[in-house]
Structure 1
């Protein structure tokens, strides 16, 4: 059975080799990213997902923050050099989407619906994951490569200070993107019988 959506998500892959040779303007990419997030579902239509979209020098600044912070964790010069190279490969892209969840929205839902209170933080994680996947797939569909990273919370304070991010926004992930300069790694799949149970 042919399915256009499945065709698109089957082709979405992690692309580490990215560059700045994108045909899209920052404005076009911003529209695409914002629309993908706006169309992503959330519990009680809370729309708790937030994003800071960084391009060019601002994007490079973010990865500089991460690189400097990670130096304090390096065991030796070889490890530091390897980490630096990885951060430089991210900075080689054209932009980064910083994904947040607004904890004020989540707290408001907990107060309004106390019987579901313990579930709202879990559902917020679902919301941000869907938004991340939607943006990632939308970028890929437009020929832009991306990879999802998680360097929170080590740079949270710098991010909030540098880009005037509200205190209630909690950083959850970073999607770095750019032109596709190399193919994805080979991807394997475990046996369906180990993952799924179907009853008819």
Structure 2
């Protein structure tokens, strides 16, 4: 494994304190995401992943609507913690929204009925790989990011605001920006307990 690849994998972390300072151009972010979408693997090369990148007022509106969806679900006396967390995402430079196109997944099931019950699982696995590739490459560009899951709570409003197809199912949200605080310490379970090797 190349040193550069190892470093990118090792340094990818969850950054919750981010700012909207433009240390990477929007065009560069777009290029990174395009690269990830093009080269991430999919079962049967389905290419079912869909991505939306939001900046500026679109990014802020996303986190405002998320906050409003959470407000009735969290006790009023505890909401300040939720609000602070959402505002930390809103303070960032942008957000990557990950979707899966269920029409593609459904179509594959119809074409290959033998695997019909597997395509949903494979779709989610592919989405996870795409998220990881985007996350790692954003890190390599000097941006801090984290992976959030406020779906399906915000799905309908997100699709309405950005005029997205109903068949696109939101999988995750990745706010990103200039890191303004180091990530928390990461602990590791012994790899000897997690890996078996037979030679």
Which bin holds the TM-score, normalised by the shorter protein?
over 0.9
Mind listing any 5+ residue stretches in structure 1 that lack a counterpart?
A: none
Partner-residue secondary structure (3-state), 1:186: coil
Paired position in structure 2 for 1:50: 50
137-146 vs 23-32, greater mean Cα deviation? 23-32
Contact 1:22 1:144 in 2 (8 A): no
Name the residue aligned to 1:107: 106
In the TM superposition, 1:43-192 aligns within 5 A as 43-77=43-77, 79-192=78-191
* Root-mean-square deviation over aligned CA pairs: 1.1
1:22: Cα distance to partner? Answer: 2.6
Given that 1:54 and 1:95 are in contact with CA atoms closer than 8 Å, whether structure 2 keeps it comes out as yes
1:196 matched to 2:186: no
Match of 1:22 in 2: 22
Unaligned runs of 5+ in 2: none
Asked if the contact 1:49/1:99 (under 8 Å) is kept, the reply is yes
- The alpha carbon displacement at 1:23 in A equals 2.0
What does the per-residue CA deviation read over 1:37-85, in whole Å, with 9 as the maximum and x for residues that have no partner? 21101011110000111001100100000101100011232x1111111
Return the alpha-carbon distance in structure 2 between the equivalents of residues 39 and 16 of structure 1.
27
- 1:131-153, CA deviations, whole angstroms, 9 ceiling, x for partnerless residues? 00000000000100000000000
CA distance in 2, matches of 1:46, 1:166: 18
Q: Does 1:40 find its partner at 2:40?
A: yes
Change over 3 Å in CA distance of 1:67–1:194 after alignment to 2: same
Cα distance in structure 2, aligned partners of 1:175 and 1:165: 18
State the TM-score, normalized to the length of structure 2.
0.97
Secondary structure at the aligned position of 1:149 is classed as coil
TM-score (norm 1): 0.96
Displacement, 1:13? 0.7
